[in-house]
Structure 1
Amino acid sequence: MGLSREKLMKAVSGQMPEKRWKHTLGVMEKSVQLAEKYGADPVKADLAAILHDVAKYWPVSEMEAVIRENGLNEELLLHDKQLWHSEVGAFVAQRDYGVDDPEIINAIRWHTSGRVGMSLLDKVICLADYIEPGRDFPGVDHIREQAERSLEEGLIAGFDSTISLLISQRRVIYPLTMLSRNDLIAHL
């Protein structure tokens, strides 16, 4: 990767509001803690956390164009736009920032939905995104408590929270989130 960590942080922070950058800093902090606790690479966790929301505030039309023009997962376009930034962010991490480590790219790609067969780093970034210190939503303390027990228990609690919220709002649930949750339970 060509950019230093500091230059990367400056480049990424410039693409989002200050509040979202504070969230990213929290995800960086929590991902390194989780990586150290559960045996993932803290340097990779830090890098994936810096980049996890790099495309979050891109215009929807630009995210859609990146997905369509680069052969990315077009199924996402049938689902909530909140899912798109992870796919686009993984692409941008490679294209614009020279990240070539597939483990880091995948952790960025799957941080919103999870996936069947999540890697250790996937789990760390996804869970850190749920429980970073600035998060304050109903049920976050339960997710944090479960995260102390295991990455898997924390993620199951996180996915349960997301799925319950979507059900209460009568919104569509992205199928991969359900499959990710079920896979975690099956492998406990």
Structure 2
Amino acid sequence: MEYSREALIKAVSAQMPDKRWKHTLGVMASSVKLAEQYGADPERAETAAILHDVAKYWPVESMKEIMEQNGLDTGLLKHDKQLWHAEVGAFVAERDYGIADSDVLNAIRFHTSGREGMSLLERIVCLADYIEPGRDFPGVDHIRKLAKSSLEEGLVAGLDSTISLLLEKRRIIYPLTVLARNDLVRILEENI
């Protein structure tokens, strides 16, 4: 059974520190605003935003176990643990909260990494996670400015920021992030 908006908020907010819930509230507001601006369903965008970090504070061993025991993408286990919560979060959204909308589930699943062929809803939630009002990192104001006129430009700038940071820290870059960025650049070039 799918939860009501209020029940979902109550259940999800109880699983994270206040600071992370404040971030989630910012992603919710940003997702709704972007959905209204770019022609997506604001209610679906808000639902994905409520749940996008549902598993963020779960123990990594629990996330690993869920991925292994439920046929999830165990290839993620070779990558940064910061990526795991999105895959587990999508699973939990379906199993525990009755979310059956595959687009909402994919918006949760790919909000951290992106992927090639992202839907409008996936792009919105991914970008909202970058630009929500509480975010404060070098370049975030530029990403916010781009997001006002182009969802794709804003998202490319966000992904570029992530990739640059990973390069600076000499970290492994998750392949889907590179594919997502390149796909969006192709889309932008085709629309010139």
2: CA distance, partners of 1:146 / 1:62: 38
- Please tell me the residue identity of whatever aligns with 2:136: D
Compute the displacement of 1:113 (Å).
0.6
- Please tell me the residue identity of whatever aligns with 1:150: S
Partner deviation per Cα, 1:93-146 (whole Å, 9 max, x = no partner): 000000000110010001001110000000000000000000001110111111
Residue 111, structure 1, aligned to residue 85, structure 2: no
After TM superposition, the structure 1 = structure 2 runs for residues 35-114 of structure 1, keeping only pairs within 5 Å, are 35-114=35-114
- Please tell me the residue identity of whatever aligns with 2:57: Y
2: CA distance, partners of 1:115 / 1:106: 10
1: CA distance, partners of 2:39 / 2:76: 31
Compute the displacement of 1:149 (Å).
1.7
Structure 2 length normalisation: TM-score? 0.97
Partner deviation per Cα, 1:59-91 (whole Å, 9 max, x = no partner): 000000000000000110000000000000000
- Please tell me the residue identity of whatever aligns with 2:60: V
Query: Structure 2: which 5+ runs fail to align?
Result: none
Number of the residue aligned with 1:12 = 12
SS of alignment partner, residue 96 of structure 1: helix
1: CA distance, partners of 2:70 / 2:117: 25
Compute the displacement of 1:16 (Å).
0.4
Structure 1 length normalisation: TM-score? 0.99
Partner deviation per Cα, 1:140-160 (whole Å, 9 max, x = no partner): 011111111211000000000
- Between the two proteins, what is the percent identity of the paired residues? 71
Number of the residue aligned with 2:122 = 122
- Please tell me the residue identity of whatever aligns with 1:91: F
Number of the residue aligned with 1:177 = 177
Number of the residue aligned with 1:159 = 159
After TM superposition, the structure 1 = structure 2 runs for residues 113-152 of structure 1, keeping only pairs within 5 Å, are 113-152=113-152
SS of alignment partner, residue 172 of structure 1: coil
- Please tell me the residue identity of whatever aligns with 2:152: E
1: CA distance, partners of 2:2 / 2:183: 36
Q: Structure 1 residues 3-12 or 80-89, which shifts more? A: 3-12
Give the total of aligned pairs.
Answer: 188
- Please tell me the residue identity of whatever aligns with 2:163: I
Query: Structure 1: which 5+ runs fail to align?
Result: none
Q: Pairwise CA RMSD of aligned residues?
A: 0.6
- Please tell me the residue identity of whatever aligns with 2:101: D
1: CA distance, partners of 2:42 / 2:64: 32
Compute the displacement of 1:54 (Å).
0.1
**Structure 1 ranges of 4+ moved more than 3 A:** none
2: CA distance, partners of 1:38 / 1:2: 26
